[in-house]
Structure 1
Amino acid sequence: MTRARLVHTVIGHTRLEPVRHAFTYRSYSWLVDLDDLPVLPWLLRPFAGFEARDHLGDPATTMRGNVESYLAAAGIDLGGGRILMLANARVLGYVFNPLTVFWCHDPAGRLRCVIAEVHNTYGGRHRYLIPPERCAEVAKEFYVSPFNPVSGRYRLRLPVPDERLHLNVSLENPDGRTIFGATVTGRVVPAHTSALVRALFAHPLETWRITARIRRQGLRLWLRGLPIVPRTTDSPQEALR
């Protein structure tokens, strides 16, 4: 069926300021090679779709072509090296990816860079180019949560997964205090038909539920009195098509 893999994940969010709020939930994601996307039995295809329009770039080309174009603009040429993507797939025509990670390698298999692509629930998306370091920092440039301004820095640990996935993202305000953290951990398994069917039964309509969870947690914070930060229009982003 496919050489792709599934990742059974545990996702945790912790807000430290101005109110403390934390939650975790279980989910699953796909870990795929952009040159070897899954070819599923026809009955399962509506539950695992991968399309260029779901990510930044030209929807008429391939996901790999869009990643290469983005890297070329930054002066990076992978020379045909492998690109691994961690993402959610379309389920019954819908997908939402709070965070998609691309691990970009050269032909010898060395990690050249990492791309963190962030989507918000307002129809925007933005990419951060991350150097291949154990812990990297980038300035926050994109409006995500309505309770955080577009300021401060992200500290990211995004190692290439093997049998386990361990991602960590924290947000520091301009004073250097950590105000928010997110972790994604999980077990990586082959995406056999039986494994996918079990994931679909354990997490039905998961991409729809991800959006619902985000809105529910936002409502809880608003009811606790956390002020909303107005959206700005000058931060770099691309509207969904």
Structure 2
Amino acid sequence: MSVVPPPAAPSLYTCEVVHVRVRPVHHALRHRTYLWLLDLDDLPRLPPVLRPLARFDARDHFGGGAPTIRAGLDAFLAARGVTDAGGRVLMLAHARVFGHVFNPLTLYWCHDPAGRPVCVVAEVHNTYGGRHCYLLRPDGHGRADVAKEFYVSPFFGVEGSYRMRLPVPGDVLDLTVQLRRDDGSRPLTATVRGRRRPARAGTLLRVALGHPWSTLAVSLGIRWHGIRLYFKGLPVHPRPAPPTREGML
């Protein structure tokens, strides 16, 4: 795999998240928000007045007990036998805003010391307080397949697999996650598309005013759409026991 010029970090991405369900009923969710792209070894240092708008805490990622987010990631990778990802790590995530955070999907693009891509870690949170990580080895186009192991929506079990397309963000953010069934159906497709903005104080203030309580809005929006799906008659799948802790280190 070749070395590509690294994207600027930190950066802000104003974006639209879209979920489209086609089975057993058609339903679409659209939500505008903003995300941060960060270098895990060089997190932004905001002036005190702006710190309530963006905090990045180790307790919000992996097992929550590591001293830093990078340490939590390194422990997860070591447990999976990944030993060559000691270079730059880019994280795409929501910040903790006014003390609240909810990250349905956090992505970590991991590189070796020479800057070559090694793997991607996809960290998923559900609205029940659970979290799980998937270790991915994308191809040259950023595509990877992985078996589904984690209960996210009450309207889907844990059967099937994900096809993910996760190219490293540049000026444009363009991600896709598609749920696939063994019968060939594709009942859910989620996309995240946006454009990069410089992570300056003025930009942060503008996007925060445009999307107040951004992470709270995400979690409330998911619950509201869950209520709508329930009244559309979708059957609820019982929540299984969580996966092994290896997926959450």
Counterpart in the other structure of 2:113 = 107
For structure 1, which runs of at least 5 residues remain unmatched after alignment? none
Distance, in Å, in 2 between the alignment partners of 1:6 and 1:30 is 5
Is the contact between residue 141 and residue 236 of structure 1 (CA under 8 Å) also seen in structure 2?
Answer: no
- 1:136 offset after TM fit, Å? 1.1
Is the contact between residue 16 and residue 192 of structure 2 (CA under 8 Å) also seen in structure 1?
Answer: yes
- 1:174 offset after TM fit, Å? 2.3
Distance, in Å, in 2 between the alignment partners of 1:238 and 1:107 is 25
1:81 aligns with 2:81: no
- TM-score, normalising length: structure 2: 0.92
Is the contact between residue 144 and residue 165 of structure 2 (CA under 8 Å) also seen in structure 1?
Answer: yes
Distance, in Å, in 1 between the alignment partners of 2:34 and 2:247 is 26
Counterpart in the other structure of 2:207 = 199
Two-structure CA RMSD over aligned residues (Å): 1.7
Residue pairs, 1:137-176, within 5 angstroms = 137-176=145-184
Find 2:188's aligned residue among 152, 173, 180.
180
- 1:235 offset after TM fit, Å? 3.2
Counterpart in the other structure of 2:197 = 189
Percent identical across equivalent pairs?
A: 53
Counterpart in the other structure of 1:17 = 23
Counterpart in the other structure of 2:226 = 218
1:35 aligns with 2:37: no
Distance, in Å, in 1 between the alignment partners of 2:44 and 2:25 is 42
Q: Deviations over 1:34-70 (max 9, x none)?
A: 0010100100101100000001135241111111111
Distance, in Å, in 2 between the alignment partners of 1:115 and 1:39 is 25
Aligned to 2:52, the other structure's residue is in SS state helix
1:235 aligns with 2:246: no
Distance, in Å, in 2 between the alignment partners of 1:82 and 1:239 is 22
Counterpart in the other structure of 1:136 = 144
For structure 2, which runs of at least 5 residues remain unmatched after alignment? 1-7
Distance, in Å, in 1 between the alignment partners of 2:245 and 2:19 is 23
Q: How many residues align?
A: 239
Structure 1 segments (4+ residues) deviating >3 Å: 234-240
Is the contact between residue 56 and residue 238 of structure 1 (CA under 8 Å) also seen in structure 2?
Answer: no
Is the contact between residue 85 and residue 110 of structure 2 (CA under 8 Å) also seen in structure 1?
Answer: no
Distance, in Å, in 1 between the alignment partners of 2:242 and 2:212 is 37
Counterpart in the other structure of 2:10 = 4
Distance change >3 Å, CA 99–CA 237, structure 1 → 2: farther
Aligned to 2:208, the other structure's residue is in SS state helix
